[in-house]
Amino acid sequence: MRIWRSIEHFWELWVATPLPLKVLYFVLAWGLAAGMAAAIADLEFGSSGERQLTDFIEGLITIIVIFGFPVLVMGLIMHLVHLMTGSFKPNTDPSPTIQPFDQSKRS
């Protein structure tokens, strides 16, 4: 039961975290994973294995930047146009949404 409470607590913190911080956590987690993989490759295969792994990761980052940056810029432009045209309608639904782990609002 204690583990389940820990999972619930982590979920509530994650839901309350703003999106830019989630992106930062994601980047840090992948950076840590890549660094650990490079360290393991260095131990197992020597500096050649580490160099090959870092070259592969650099290639992946290049592909992500080449495709991801234009998508982000176009999304920003589309969002600004969407806000300027006044097509944004706030949610006026009076019924509250139920969070996944919130037991108090369930019947």
Contact between residue 41 and residue 52 where contact means Cβ atoms under 8 Å apart: yes
Flag whether the pTM goes above 0.85: no
**Three-state secondary-structure class, residue 25:** helix
CA-derived radius of gyration, the chain: 21
Report whether pLDDT(98) > 70. no
9-59: per-residue pLDDT in tens? 888 887 888 877 888 888 888 889 888 888 888 888 887 888 888 888 899
Predicted confidence band at 66 (pLDDT cuts at 50, 70, 90)?
A: very high
User: Domain-by-domain residue ranges, the chain?
Assistant: 2-84
Virtual torsion, Cα 81, 83, 87, 89, nearest 10 deg: 160
pLDDT: is 31 or 98 the higher one? 31
